[in-house]
Amino acid sequence: MQLQNGSAHQEPAPVAVPIAVVQFAPTTDPAANLTALREHVRTAAEAGARVVLAPEYSMFAVTRLDERVVAIAEPLDGPFTTGLGALAAEFGVFLVAGMVERPATESARISNTLVAHGPDGTVRAVYRKVHLYDAFGHRESEVVVPGPLLEPATFAVDGVIFGMQTCFDLRFPEGARRVAAAGAHVLLLPAQWIPGPAKVDQWTTLLRARAIENTVYVAAADQCAPRGAGASMIVDPAGAVLAELGDDPGVLVATVDPAHLARVRTANPSLSLRRFAVVERVSPEPGAE
């Protein structure tokens, strides 16, 4: 299959695109998670959304990663991602969700993977989490293979370009800058933002900062309790919060307005004024000695 991973897009002039963010609490039952997600996607589609974003680990969620995650992993053409494609096709939307992928070259760890399906049910883009959650007492790298440093994973909807990152990636501004420099108008960020002291404040601050400094819309889908902090939101390119949720499951809908984006970027041309490029840092794999 051919994926739109990169910045070479020949798209029409962008038009307004309604987008939705799903906040729910995935369990350790992938089939039940698909069933729950289906109702949220239905709600989003009925509200007019063209793009629907679900959380990180929508397929299978635990508080701490262990051998259960490795055992449940599946390939990109496995039943969970096939089910996501069927949902996208059923409701005629672009659907992005996090799954537990079995890497082709390793059996002891997984890939933390985002898959974007189009309204025809086909895969449009894939992103594997680059920055692993080796922080706040967690060691994601013990169970997860870091994603390869490829060109940003993007896909286009009515001329609007969407890029993807995952959860802990939010703390690394270089990654979001690469996505914006690749032409993205919107950064999609699924997460399982682990609750803790000041974590929600950090989450909301970082989401708004990524939007402001890159003049992009940011749509963030977090898991809700008990394994996520909630506070999913959609932020405009000037940092204004267009829609947000608290702790409970729900669906947010807002519109990506290319005309508004153009006005923000005219007033604040920070992307064109930047004088530094982002380059790969040569370092050991996370968790390596």
Q: What is the pLDDT of residue 228?
A: 97
Q: What is the pLDDT of residue 35?
A: 98
> What is the separation of C-alpha 258 from the centre of its chain, rounded to a whole number of angstroms?
20
Q: What is the pLDDT of residue 286?
A: 59
Every domain of the chain and the residues it spans: 17-271
Cβ atoms of 35 and 77 closer than 8 Å: no
The C-alpha atoms of residue 178 and residue 151 are separated, in whole angstroms, by: 8
Superfamily of domain 17-271: Carbon-nitrogen hydrolase (3.60.110.10)
Q: What is the pLDDT of residue 2?
A: 38
Q: Which residue has the tokens 């299978």?
A: 60
Cα–Cα–Cα angle for 214, 114, 231, rounded to 5 degrees: 60
* Beta strands per DSSP E along the chain: 17-23, 51-53, 94-101, 111-117, 123-128, 154-157, 160-164, 186-191, 217-222, 233-235, 241-244, 250-256
Buried b vs exposed e over 204-238: b needs ≥16 C-beta within 10 Å?
bebbbbbbbbbbbbbbbbbbbeebbbbbbbbbbbb
Rg (CA), the chain: 17
Alpha-helical regions (H) of 2-93: 30-46, 67-72, 79-91
Q: What is the pLDDT of residue 289?
A: 42
Sheet of strand 51-53: strand arrangement = 123-128, 111-117, 94-101, 51-53, 17-23, 250-256
pLDDT tens, residue by residue, 14-26: 899 999 999 999 9
Is the overall model pTM greater than 0.75, yes or no?
yes
Q: What is the pLDDT of residue 284?
A: 62
Give the CA distances from residue 84 to residues 31, 112, 237, in Å, rounded to whole numbers and listed in that order.
11, 16, 29
Amino acid at 36: A
The structure tokens listed for 85 are: 């494609």
Which residue, among 142, 143, 214, has the nearest Cα to 172 in the 3D structure?
214
List of the chain residues with pLDDT < 50: 1-4, 6-9, 288-289
Point out the residues that are catalytic: 56, 129, 167
Sheet of strand 217-222: strand arrangement = 154-157, 160-164, 186-191, 217-222, 233-235, 241-244
